[in-house]
Each structure stands twice: as C-alpha cells, then as structure tokens.
C-alpha cells in the first residue's frame, strides 16, 4: 500500500549545467551505504503514512470524498507534512541551549497585491511573526537525519551545509497576540535627507498602516488595509492607469524578513497565477524521499527553461501581473521567494499559512487563495498554471474555470507522467471534460509556443470583448502536445 514512499531518481542539475529535456537532468548519486539507508522509511514518513490511512478511513464517511478512489483523491504526497510542527520544535529545544524569551521578534512579509476600490487603494498584508531560537548544530543534524531517513553526516559537504541552513530556518517559534504596524515607502524612493549628520529614515508624511487586530494563534496576519490618506501624493489612482505600482514596507518588529514589497494592481489587465513545485522548480514532491532531498539538501533550480517562457511573457504582455502560489508552509516561504525573485519575474506571493495543519487543509488553502485573487479583480483576466501530480489542481482548476468563465482564459497543466517516467501516481482528467477545449492544455515541456499561444489568447480576448477568436483557439490547440 505504501509503494509511494520509495525514493525517486529525479534530482536537480548541477548549477552550471544547461539542459533542454528531463532526460538530461543529472542525478546526484550518494555512496552505497547512504543509498541503502535512504530506501528505508524515516519516522516522519511512517507518521505520514499513518495519517494518510487515517484520512482514507475518514473519507469513507465524507460525502465530499467518498466518490473518489483513494489514490485519485489524494494524489501525490504532501511532502511538507513531514516538516516539524510547533510542538515538535518545542520538544527539540533544550532549555540549556536555546534562548527563547530573549530572542527578538521578526516578521516575515509575503509580497502582496492591492486593488482599487471606492476611490482608494486596498492593500493586502500577509505574513507571520516569529522568533529564531538558538539551537545547537547537534539538534539540527539529528532532525535532518530523522527526516531524510539516513545520517546527515553521509551527505556531501555542500549538501550537509545546505541542509543544516535550510532546517535551521524551519525551527522558528510563532507568536500570537502581537500588534503590528508598517511604514510604507512608494517606489519612487522618498530619498533620505541628511539633517545634522544623521539621516531622516522615514519621511515626514502620513505613511503608517496599523493592523486592525493581533496576530492569530499561529502568529499569522492577513488583512486588507485602506490606503486612503497614505502616500496620496505618491500613488496614482487605480482608475486611470494600466501599469502596476510598487510599495515598499517595513514593520515595527525588531527585524524584517521576507520580501518587503507589494504591488498595486489595476482592476483590468492580465494576471498569470502559477504553482511553483514541479512547474517552476525541480521538486519531485511526488517522491517524498527525493523531494525532501531537493528541498533540504540541494539549491533550488528552475524546471528546464520555464523561466524563459515567463521572461517572454513579462516582456511581451504589457502590464502583466504575476502571482505565485505554493502549498509549502510559511516557514519555507523565504527560500521559495528568494528563488522566484532571482529566477522569474517579480510578483505577489501566497503560501500555506502556518495554521493549516492537515493534508486536506492544503487543498482548501490553494482553492481559497485562488478565489480570493479572482474575487479581488473581477474585471481582470487570468491564466492558471499547475501540474497533474496535484489532485487539487486537477480538480479545482477546471472547477474554478467553470465558476469564473469570463475571468479565466486558460489552464496550463504540466503532464508530469509524460516527462518523468518515475511518476507513477494515477490522476484524473474528468473535471476537465466540462471545459471547452480552448480553455485548457496539457504540456510535456515548456516552450516559447506557450508564450505565443498566451499572447494570442489574451490579445484576442481583449480585442473581441471577452470571446475567444477562432485564431486564438487554433493557437492553443497547436501547443496542446508541447
């Protein structure tokens, strides 16, 4: 029953390697002793397997799940459920080696989006408050070994150092009931002015936003703030422009992590929403052992030339807005955001909130986050990008396309099984049967044809007032086999 827990063979390429196909991706081969131990189930994989069996039993009495076969319903593993919970972090901290109370508060800001409503901008603020306790390398190494299923010291030196750094970033303690505020700085800079040898860091204008409530039990904050009266002289009204505006922000916490920027997005235009794992980066999350190695022991790499496709979209589609979506937990957000901002066009970001504990909750999280963006911009057009290793994508993306037909132009789905022969998970396309053929496409490899098809599709929609032209339909059909 637990065949899916065996390790995969797909891994990221060397940082200097150029490639054009999945077959050219190199595999890092561990020593024989490591390979033998890596095939064993780690404690976290056993825990996950038991949780999945429990979910399956529960689904037998769940009206929303009973119609689906277990494997079709659950799809590939939620690898992120193997990462430590707050309870496990507290248990792992030895009071003699950790300084919890004396550690300063930090905020992790996720780049967000704002919309123009009732003659004012509404900007979303999203992130969480945490502290980074001091934990010994011995404790971190022990956890790395437990998650990977083999001793961490058997890794190569660069992999060991990378894993230690990544896992240390997971050992954060979130904090509830914290009152936050932010200083906002427009993209034109508001240059610092020298006064008596010092620098006036914040300009003498009203530019502060105070959170309407305290952080929740998981340290999260998520709200929209009215920017009326905030930076009025520096922000253009949203009913008179097409381009995006950037706003930089800084919280009142001791230090700020994440990406300190958010975007004011006009009500009309094109937004491309993309999943990250196994679409934009080499992840193989459908092989949990290999997926954890790609996550913890190897640098993030783009999947093939997908970054070229996105660069083409960014240059060719005027005023396009990119929104990146991942069900990775907030504790992994910094690594994901750094990778995206170094490799892909900049844009807003969503990850799974810390308070989403269960596997099934991650599905509702993705759909809920998508619907929030769609409902925030009822006049914008959207393109959704995902892969067929995620059951929620194969189900919710077509259902959303049916629910918002005037907004969603097309759904791109990477066919993982056609480009990675180690992918063995069953998947269903039955939810796509109700969609018109020009509303979706499956692709094996990223090509510039995808970018061309998208441009044709978006331009035809805007020129025809919302209806797809025959030429756009043909363009999409031509790339259905890429």
Using an 8 Å Cβ cutoff, are 30 and 159 in contact? no
Domains of the chain: 3-15+25-81+268-478 (3.40.50.1000), 106-133+174-264 (2.60.40)
Through-space distance between the first and last CA atoms of the chain, rounded to whole angstroms: 34
Exposure string over 212-225, b if 16+ CB within 10 A, otherwise e: eeebbebbbbbebb
Using an 8 Å Cβ cutoff, are 219 and 176 in contact? yes
Query: Using CA atoms, how far apart are residues 195 and 344, in angstroms rounded to an integer?
Result: 39
> H or E stretch including 95?
none
Q: 321 — phi, psi (to 5°)?
A: -110, 125
Query: Using CA atoms, how far apart are residues 358 and 343, in angstroms rounded to an integer?
Result: 31
Query: Using CA atoms, how far apart are residues 337 and 298, in angstroms rounded to an integer?
Result: 16
Q: What is the pLDDT of residue 357?
A: 47
Query: Using CA atoms, how far apart are residues 29 and 36, in angstroms rounded to an integer?
Result: 12
Nearest to 206 by CA among 175, 229, 177: 229
Beta strands 120-131 and 173-174 are antiparallel
Q: What is the pLDDT of residue 76?
A: 47
Report the predicted TM-score, pTM, of the whole model to 2 decimal places: 0.78
Query: Using CA atoms, how far apart are residues 393 and 389, in angstroms rounded to an integer?
Result: 8
Other beta carbons within 10 Å of 110? 23
DSSP letters along 293-326, please? HHHHTS---BSTTHHHHHHHHHHHSTT-EEEEEE
Question: Which 8-state DSSP code applies to residue 12?
Answer: P
For 134, half-sphere exposure in the C-beta direction (CA atoms, 13 angstrom radius) is: 9
Using an 8 Å Cβ cutoff, are 289 and 49 in contact? no
Q: Walk along the chain (482 residues) in steps of 10 and give the mean pLDDT of each run.
A: 28 32 34 38 47 47 43 51 72 61 80 92 95 85 88 93 89 90 81 44 67 92 92 84 90 89 95 95 85 90 93 89 91 92 96 57 72 95 92 91 95 89 82 91 79 58 40 35 36
């Amino acid at each position: 029953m637990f065949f899916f827990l065996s390790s995969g063979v797909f891994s990221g390429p060397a940082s200097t390697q150029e490639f054009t196909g999945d077959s050219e991706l190199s595999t890092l081969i561990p020593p024989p002793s490591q390979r033998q131990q890596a095939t064993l189930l780690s404690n976290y994989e056993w825990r996950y397997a038991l949780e999945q069996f429990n979910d399956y039993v529960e689904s037998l009495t769940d009206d929303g799940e009973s119609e689906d076969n277990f494997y079709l319903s659950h799809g590939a593993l939620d690898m992120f459920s193997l990462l430590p919970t707050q309870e496990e972090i507290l248990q792992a901290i030895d009071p003699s080696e950790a300084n919890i109370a004396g550690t300063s508060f930090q905020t992790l800001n996720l780049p967000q989006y704002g919309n123009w409503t009732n003659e004012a901008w509404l900007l979303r603020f999203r992130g969480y408050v945490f502290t980074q306790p001091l934990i010994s390398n011995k404790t971190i190494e022990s956890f790395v070994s437990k998650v990977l299923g083999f001793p961490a010291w058997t890794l190569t030196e660069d992999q060991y150092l990378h894993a230690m750094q990544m896992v240390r970033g997971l050992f954060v303690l979130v904090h509830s009931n914290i009152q936050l505020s932010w200083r906002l700085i427009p993209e034109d800079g508001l240059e610092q002015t020298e006064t008596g040898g010092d620098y006036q860091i914040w300009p003498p204008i009203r530019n502060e936003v105070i959170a309407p409530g305290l952080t929740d039990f998981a340290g999260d904050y998520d709200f929209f703030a009215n920017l009326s009266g905030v930076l009025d002289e520096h922000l253009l009204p949203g009913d008179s422009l097409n381009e995006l505006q950037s706003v930089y922000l800084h919280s009142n916490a001791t230090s700020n992590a994440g990406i300190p920027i958010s975007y004011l997005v006009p009500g009309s235009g094109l937004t491309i929403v993309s999943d990250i794992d196994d679409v934009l980066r080499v992840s193989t999350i459908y092989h949990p052992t290999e997926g954890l190695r790609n996550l913890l022991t190897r640098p993030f790499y783009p999947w093939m030339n997908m970054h070229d496709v996105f660069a083409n979209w960014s240059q060719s589609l005027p005023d396009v807005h990119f929104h990146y979506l991942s069900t990775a937990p907030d504790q992994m957000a910094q690594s994901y955001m750094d990778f995206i901002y170094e490799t892909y066009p900049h844009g807003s970001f969503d990850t799974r909130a810390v308070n989403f504990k269960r596997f099934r909750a991650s599905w509702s999280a993705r759909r809920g986050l998508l619907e929030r963006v769609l409902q925030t911009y009822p006049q914008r057009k959207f393109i959704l990008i995902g892969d067929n290793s995620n059951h929620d994508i194969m189900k919710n993306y077509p259902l959303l396309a049916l629910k918002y037909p005037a907004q969603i132009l097309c759904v791109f789905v990477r066919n993982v099984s056609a480009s990675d022969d180690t992918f063995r998970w069953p998947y269903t396309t039955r939810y796509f049967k109700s969609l018109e053929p020009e509303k979706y496409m499956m692709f094996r490899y990223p090509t510039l044809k995808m970018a061309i098809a998208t441009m044709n599709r978006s331009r035809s929609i805007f020129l025809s007032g919302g209806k797809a032209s025959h030429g756009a339909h043909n363009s999409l059909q031509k790339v259905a086999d890429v």
